[in-house]
Amino acid sequence: MIALVLGIALAALLVSIPRPALAGSLTVRSAAATTSGWSTQIEVRAASDSDITKITARLRLGDTADPFTTAEDFELVSGTVTDGVWRTAQPVTLEMGVIHVDVDATDASGATVTRKAAGIIDRLGETRFSEFTFSPSTVDIDHDTVTYAGRLVFEDRDGNEHGIPDARLCLALNSACADYTTTDPDGRFSSPVRLYVRPDHRTNMVDSDASAAYHGARLYRPAESPRSRLKVLRQETRVSMSLSSRPEIIGDTVQVTGRLERKTAEGQWTGVSNQDVDIYTYDSQTGYHGPVETARTGSDGSYSQPVLVPQATQWMVYFRPEYLTWDSRWVFGPYLPSSQGLGEVIYSHHRTSIRGFKISPNPVGKGAQITGSGLLTIQDTTGAEVPLANGRVELHFSRDRKNWSVAAEGRSGAKGQVSLRATAGSSGYWRLNYLPDYGDRDLGFVSASVYATVKYRTTISSFNAAPEPVRKGATITVGGTLKRYVSSWGSWSGQWVYLYFQPRGSSTWTYMAVAKTDRYGKFRKGFKASRDGTWMAKYKGGTSYLPGSSAGDYVDVR
Digit-coded pLDDT (tens) for 201-226: 889 999 999 999 999 998 999 999 99
- pLDDT band (50, 70, 90) for residue 328: confident
0.85 exceeded by pTM: no
Q: Is the pLDDT of residue 229 over 90?
A: yes
Mean pLDDT over 505-530 rounds to: 96
Give the DSSP H/E element, type plus range, for residue 11.
Answer: helix 2-16
* Residue 99 CB neighbour total at 10 angstroms: 23
Q: Is the pLDDT of residue 329 over 90?
A: no
pLDDT at 11: 36
Contacts of 330 (CB under 8 A, 6+ apart): 322, 323, 324
pLDDT at 121: 96
Closest Cα to residue 213, out of 203, 222, 201?
A: 222
Contact 317, 239 (CB under 8 A): yes
Q: Is the pLDDT of residue 9 over 50?
A: no
Contacts of 525 (CB under 8 A, 6+ apart): 477, 478, 479, 499, 512, 513, 515
The chain-wide mean pLDDT, for the chain, equals 93
Give the DSSP H/E element, type plus range, for residue 61.
Answer: strand 52-61
- pLDDT band (50, 70, 90) for residue 3: very low
Contact 274, 179 (CB under 8 A): no
pLDDT at 489: 93
Lowest-confidence pick of 18-22, 256-260, 283-287, 424-428:
18-22
Helices (H) and strands (E) in the chain, counts: 1, 53
pLDDT top residue among 202 and 348: 348
Give the DSSP letter of residue 25. Answer: G
Q: What are phi and psi of 16, to 5 degrees?
A: -80, -15
- pLDDT band (50, 70, 90) for residue 8: very low
pLDDT at 2: 35
Q: Name the pairing type of β-strands 454-455 and 364-365.
A: parallel
Q: pLDDT exceeding 70 applies to what percent of the chain?
A: 96
Mean pLDDT over 106-124 rounds to: 96
Lowest-confidence pick of 5-14, 173-182, 270-279, 437-446:
5-14
Burial readout 151-160 (b: 16 or more C-beta within 10 A, e: otherwise): bbbbeeeeee
* Residue 195 CB neighbour total at 10 angstroms: 23
Q: Is the pLDDT of residue 24 over 80?
A: no
pLDDT at 324: 85
Burial degree of 457 (CB within 10 A; 0-12, 13-18, 19+):
buried
Q: Is the pLDDT of residue 300 over 70?
A: yes
Q: Is the pLDDT of residue 5 over 60?
A: no
Give the DSSP letter of residue 7. Answer: H
